[in-house]
Amino acid sequence: MKVLVTGGTGLVGKNLQSLVHNIKTCEFTFLSSKHLDLTNRRQTIEYLKKTDFHTVVHLAANVGGLFKNQNNQLTMFVDNIDINTNILLGSVQSSSIKRVIMILSTCIFPDEYSDNINEQLLHKGPPHSSNRGYAYAKRMGAVMADIINSIQTTTNIQLITPTNLYGIYDNFDLENSHVIPSLIRKCVDAKRNNSILTVRGTGIPLRQFLYVSDLCIIIKDTILYNIQYNHMIVAPLQEYSIKTIVYKISDIVELDHNLIRFTDKKEEDGQVRKFAKSNVFDDIFPNFKFTDIDLGLRYAIKSYQSLNRK
C-alpha cells in the first residue's frame, strides 16, 4: 500500500516518519511545501491524479500557537481553506486514493462547550475569537469531508482531532509555536542566561497535552489495521494548568522559580479551559497508554537543547 503524508517535515510528519520507516507492507512518501505548494489547486490536483497512492495522511496546515492565530486571522483562514480543499478535491478525483486521514484541532470547537468537547459538538457554536480564522477553515474541511462521504463511497475521509501536541522535532519559535515548545525555549534560554522568564497570561488556563508519538501510533494503527471511524478525538484525560507546565519545565532544566514572572493579563490567556473526551477513542483503543507528561517534557526539552548545540 502506498501512503502519502502531507506536512511530512512538520512535528507529526517527522515523528510519523521515524515510527513507520521499518514497515514493509506500506510505502510512505513524506511531502513538504518544498515539493509542492498545496495552496495551488491545479498543481495539487494534478499531482494526486498522476500518482498511485492508496491513502493520504493529511497533516499539512498553516498552523501556530495562540498569538500566531490571533494576529493572522485572514491568512490562517485563506491558507487552510485552500490546502484542505485542494487535498480533498484531488483525492476524490484520483483513481487510486481510497482513504484520507485528516487532522483537525480541539481549538476549532465551540467556545461555549470548551469544558466538555466531543465529536458531536463541532458545529454547535462559534469558536473562541482568538483563533476564528484557523478554526473556521478547519471546520470547513470537516464539512467538506462529510459531504464527500455522503455522496460517494470511492474515497473515505476520516477525521482525527488531537489535543495540544508537543514533542521532539517541534517548532520552538517564540511567536509562532504552540505553548509547550514556546515555554521550553523560554525556560532553557532563561536558565542559560540566568535571566527572568516572562510568561504571557495568568498561567491559570487548563489544557490536555498529547505527546506527538502517541498520535503517530494511532495514525499508524488506523492505516495498518484498517480501523474505521468518521471522527475521533485523541486526548489524555489529565489536565494541567499552564503554570504547572511552566514549573515542570523549569524543574527539569533547573531554573529557579524565583526567576519566573507571569504578566497576569487575562487577554493573553485564550480559552480558560478546553477539555475533550471521546467515547469513539475509548471504544477503539480501550487500553491505550499515553506518554507520561514528565517523560514527554524531558524528550521535548532534549530535542530543543540538541538544536542549540548544533
Neighbours of 141 (CB within 10 A): 25
Q: Kindly write down the DSSP assignment for every residue of 70-131, as one continuous string.
A: HH-HHHHHHHHHHHHHHHHHHHHH-SS--EEEEE--GGGS-GGGTTSB-GGGTTSS---GGG
Catalytic annotation, pick one of 47, 134, 136, 166: 134
134 labelled catalytic: yes
What's the gap between Cα 106 and its chain centre?
9
Task: Report yes or no: 105 and 271 within 8 Å, Cβ to Cβ.
Answer: no
In single-letter form, the type of residue at position 160 comes to I
How far apart (Å, rounded) are the C-alpha atoms in residues 94 and 164? Answer: 32
Q: Given the DSSP bridges, would you call strands 197-199 and 260-262 parallel, antiparallel or unpaired?
A: parallel
How far apart (Å, rounded) are the C-alpha atoms in residues 147 and 79? Answer: 21
How far apart (Å, rounded) are the C-alpha atoms in residues 99 and 92? Answer: 9
Sign of torsion, CA 13 14 18 23? Answer: positive
Nearest to 103 by CA among 164, 156, 186, 159: 159
Nearest to 212 by CA among 4, 3, 7, 1: 7
Q: Which residues are catalytic?
A: 134
